[in-house]
């Protein structure tokens, strides 16, 4: 398993994106799936920086990956505030332009882009988000 | 992020180069807000050289669209959006809020 550890600051998003892009390429995902992984990871990391670390630019994110037989697993770990799923607003796809509200869009997008999204939190070990993207069946 | 604006007779074209994410989206927001503050509500966003766009970037466009469309004074239209970016926009249903043109000339011509 390979990993990269970066400060939880927005300027490191491009570096994480490059790292997971290469991982997805090594896992032989197609171009659309590579972009999906990069976008899902970007949304997840932005949420960690903004909500888990409260946008203070402190703390770190560890991004690891594992190449699976049929795809790629990305693991994001942080020691920030745990996510309470009940606090995440449900993203409303049918809203009019004026009603449209940004809450929950990142998480909604993550679920749409990836085949598996699993989150767990532990008082000692911190938060862990696993994202799995599987190869398109030929 | 490199952002340029070009004034045309009936609209203003904003062109960005590179990634639009949580780090760079505020720069884009500032440019659009500045144009709105000066009465620019007919806008084209040239996405030819935007190779990545997260939801943070979309919210900048959505908020700009809200301001432009208010009182029917204008609109923000998009030009030359990469397929993969457009697909992600479709996933969250946001493409319905924008007219998307294949090239900048057509987008400018729509005003």
pLDDT at residue A138 greater than cutoff 70: no
**Residue A88 maps to which CATH number?**
3.30.565.10
pLDDT at residue A96 greater than cutoff 80: yes
How far apart are the C-alpha atoms of A133 and A27, rounded to whole Å? Answer: 10
Q: What is the mean pLDDT of residues A68-97?
A: 87
Higher-pLDDT residue of B105, A92? B105
Candidate from A5-9, A51-55, A58-62, B51-55 with smallest mean pLDDT: A51-55
pLDDT single digits (tens) B35-65: 999 999 999 999 999 999 999 999 999 999 9
pLDDT at residue A32 greater than cutoff 70: yes
Domains contained in chain A, number: 1
| Predicted pLDDT at B82 | 95
The alpha-helical segments, DSSP class H, found in chain B are: 25-37, 55-69, 83-91, 104-109
Q: What is the mean pLDDT of residues A9-35?
A: 96
Contacts of B16 (CB under 8 A, 6+ apart): B1, B2, B3, B28, B45, B46, B47, B49, B50
**Which of A15, A37, A47, A38 has the alpha carbon at shortest distance from A132?**
A37
| Predicted pLDDT at A100 | 77
Please list every residue in chain A whose beta carbon sits closer than 8 Å to the beta carbon of residue B65: 97
What ipTM does this complex have? 0.92
Sheet with A2-7, strands from edge to edge, namely A2-7, A60-68, A71-78, A126-134, A116-122
Interface test mutation site (partner A, options B26, B64, B93, B95, max chain A beta carbons within 10 A): B93
pTM of the model: 0.94
Give the residue numbers spanning the domain of A6.
Answer: 2-134
pLDDT at residue A9 greater than cutoff 90: yes
Q: B92–A32: do the CB atoms touch at under 8 Å? A: no
Q: Which residues of chain B have pLDDT under 70?
A: none
pLDDT single digits (tens) A119-132: 999 999 999 999 99
Please list every residue in chain B whose beta carbon sits closer than 8 Å to the beta carbon of residue A42: 21-22, 52, 54
Nearest-CA residue of chain B relative to A32?
B84
């Amino acid at each position: 398993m390979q990993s990269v550890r970066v400060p939880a600051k927005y300027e490191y998003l491009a570096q994480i994106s490059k790292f997971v892009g290469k991982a997805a390429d090594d896992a032989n995902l197609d171009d659309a799936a590579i972009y999906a992984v990069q976008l899902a990871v970007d949304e997840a990391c932005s949420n960690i920086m903004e909500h888990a670390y409260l946008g203070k630019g402190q703390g770190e994110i560890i991004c690891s990956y594992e190449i699976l037989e049929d795809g790629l697993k990305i693991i994001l770990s942080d020691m920030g505030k745990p996510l309470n799923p009940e606090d995440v607003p449900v993203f409303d796809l049918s809203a009019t332009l004026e009603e449209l509200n940004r809450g929950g869009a990142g998480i909604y997008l993550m679920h749409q882009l990836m085949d598996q999204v699993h989150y767990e939190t532990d008082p000692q070990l911190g938060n862990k988000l696993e994202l799995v993207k599987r190869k398109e069946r030929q | 992020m490199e952002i340029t604006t070009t004034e045309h007779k009936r609209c203003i074209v904003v062109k960005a180069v590179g990634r639009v994410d949580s780090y760079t989206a505020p720069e884009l927001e500032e440019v659009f807000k500045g144009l709105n503050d000066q009465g620019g509500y007919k806008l084209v966003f040239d996405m030819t050289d935007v190779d990545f766009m997260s939801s943070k970037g979309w919210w900048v466009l959505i908020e700009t669209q809200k301001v432009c469309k208010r009182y029917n004074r204008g609109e923000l239209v998009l030009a030359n959006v990469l397929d993969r970016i457009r697909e992600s926009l479709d996933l969250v249903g946001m493409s319905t809020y924008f007219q998307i043109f294949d090239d900048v000339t057509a987008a400018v011509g729509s005003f």
